[in-house]
Structure 1
Amino acid sequence: MDTIDLKIINVLKENSRSTTSEVSKRVNLSIPAVAERIRKLEEAKIIEKYTIKVNRDKINFKLLAFIFVNIDKTEDIDEFRKSIVQYSSVLECHHVAGEYDYLLKVLVEDTKSLEDFVSYTLKKIKGVSKSNTIIALSSLKENINI
């Protein structure tokens, strides 16, 4: 990967729907060369996925929360991992160091939905022994990639 590949990635991060022609103009490289570089970046799994950023407020998912989770026993970790990634309201799940084992980024419609998720979904997963929920009041910066 070189500086041209990084430029291509930056153009696609701004708009993943950019055409090869548009990318070509922005990085000063021929269309076939850009197409080949994108293909190689995809094959190398450097580009894993093309996606969109949705305005959460406009689709009525207004409550963003971060939930710290502790797993009681080591033997329950695999079940937790398999379970938690299945829920669409869980945007991210990170194994973390410190007082808690996992950090979840959760997006739901409202406080009732959050209560239901914590009480009837999260706490019913075998091994979940403790959680701590933090509600985001606003988001000043939120990038999908570096």
Structure 2
Amino acid sequence: MHDLDETDLEILQLLLSNARRPYSGIADAVGLSAPAVSDRVTKLQEMGVINRFTIDVDRSQLRDGIPVLITLDIASTGSDVASIKEHLLGDGAVEHVFTTAEADLVIYARVRDNDIASWLTDALDDDAFDDFEVTLLAGADWSPDLGETEFALTCAQCGNTVDSEGTATRIDGELYQFCCPSCETRFMEKYDRLQREAD
């Protein structure tokens, strides 16, 4: 398995600042050849470190609603936070959804009119949240940076950190990381057993 190193972090930082940066430019910056950079980016994608390449649109340049920050107090009646997040992210007005330690959702959105309550009840079921708080934003800046980040892939079986001794396997299109071959074997056995029981 490819050992993730400082060069991989440099490549990620360069791609964060400009995902369309040519591999030849990245290669000059990190001291590798363009094909070597391409190989590393492909490996980072296969490992699930890079999920997708996207663009950062400055919506202030578009007529796209009023920028607001909404803190949503999720209903204590057992509402599924994950499905609420997924539903909100599918709404064109929502750019980001954050989950707090208290299981509240903080939403950055651009709402077309200033009737946030109506927009929320249209976007979500009435019983999905108990209360909400709105902050009108004057602007929003985003600065993608890895800072002092280190790689910490987690074993899908035991939760330990995956290092150079680790393995990876793709199951039904999803890549799983393992700290050792025995964890991979145990995971596969459990996965196969659950598949048989489901059928």
TM-score using structure 2 length: 0.62
Query: Is 2:119 the partner of 1:117?
Result: yes
- Matched to 2:34, the amino acid is I
**1:58 paired residue among 41, 58, 61:** 61
Match of 2:108 among 100, 105, 108: 105
5+ unaligned residues in a row in structure 2: which ranges?
Answer: 147-199
Tell me the residue number matched to 2:8: 5
**Residue 70 (structure 1) aligns with:** 73
Aligned residues: 142
Distance 1:65 1:48, change over 3 A: same
Length-normalised TM-score, structure 1: 0.81
Q: Is the 8 A contact 1:83 1:125 kept in 2?
A: no
CA shift at 1:118, angstroms? 3.2
- Larger helix fraction of residues: 1
Specify the alignment match of 2:50 in structure 1: 47
Shift of 1:125: 4.1
Match of 1:34, SS state, is: helix
Relative to 1, partners in 2 of residues 1:110 and 1:56: Cα closer, same or farther, differing over 3 Å?
farther
CA distance in 2 between partners of 1:106 and 1:89 (Å): 5
Are the structure 2 counterparts of residues 64 and 144 from structure 1 closer, same or farther at C-alpha, using a change threshold of 3 Å? farther
Cα distance, 1:62 vs. partner? 5.0
Partner of 1:142: 142
Q: How does 1:3-42 map to 2 (within 5 A)?
A: 3-42=6-45
- Measure the CA separation in 1 of the matches of 2:51 and 2:38: 16
Other-structure match for 1:129: 130
The structure with the larger Rg is 2
Distance 2:145 2:113 in 1: 27
Q: Which has the higher contact order (CA 8 A, sep 6+)?
A: 1
SS at match of 1:111: coil
Query: Once superposed, what is the RMSD of the aligned Cα atoms?
Result: 2.3
SS in 1 for 2:32: coil
1:37 aligned partner, one-letter code: R
Q: Where do 5+ consecutive residues of structure 1 fail to align?
A: none
